[in-house]
Structure 1
């Protein structure tokens, strides 16, 4: 996906009343690939949203999310799967 597509995604997201948590995760993945200098800030924002939006989040869940974002640069598939599982959790 090109940087231009990332610009289009940002513009579309600005038009929405709210971006779903799983969609915001995909934006983090795009930033990791296209704008790595912004990746960590996006990951931290995602974890904050995760804490607020998901019911019954535990410290273990937060630690798993943090670890998955840290792992994302080396093992993107397994990290993304872990984060998606957290999104889908109870």
Structure 2
């Protein structure tokens, strides 16, 4: 940790500032980017780096499928349609609601659940 605070706090500050380069740099230091923050990163990528948006959106949808308990196929389909609809405000609201379904971030140093360990990369980017 630096004098600027924890990596997750620096990530939040970089997201608020809309600084994609800084977001990428700090996200690399975060062991697990929570799904809502990963969505904020995705929205920033959509706005500033269109060529990387689609691969990042696919990764985010994969994480949603793995991390949101009880997510149905129809709900995943709706989320994918919302990803395709970004930057529309209704699409953002839909995705934020789905992102909040994922459990809160794990404590630093806590192992990932065994079912997610092999399939979910430790970081969004």
Same structural fold, with TM-score higher than 0.5 when normalized by the shorter chain:
yes
- In structure 2, what is the equivalent of residue 71 of structure 1? 85
How many Å separate the matches in 1 of 2:34 and 2:99? 10
- In structure 1, what is the equivalent of residue 57 of structure 2? 43
- In structure 1, what is the equivalent of residue 94 of structure 2? 82
Q: What is the CA RMSD across the aligned residues, in angstroms?
A: 1.5
Q: Which of 18, 29, 32 pairs up with 1:15? A: 29
How many Å separate the matches in 1 of 2:60 and 2:72? 15
Cα deviations by residue, 1:27-72 (Å, 9 ceiling, x for unpaired): 1111111000111111100000001111111101110111001111
Structure whose alpha-carbon radius of gyration is higher? 2
TM-score under structure 2 normalisation? 0.64
Aligned residues: 86
| Ranges of 4+ aligned residues in structure 1 off by more than 6 Å | none
Secondary structure, counterpart of 1:15 in structure 2: coil
TM-score under structure 1 normalisation? 0.87
Q: Counting helix residues as a fraction of each chain, which structure ranks higher?
A: 1
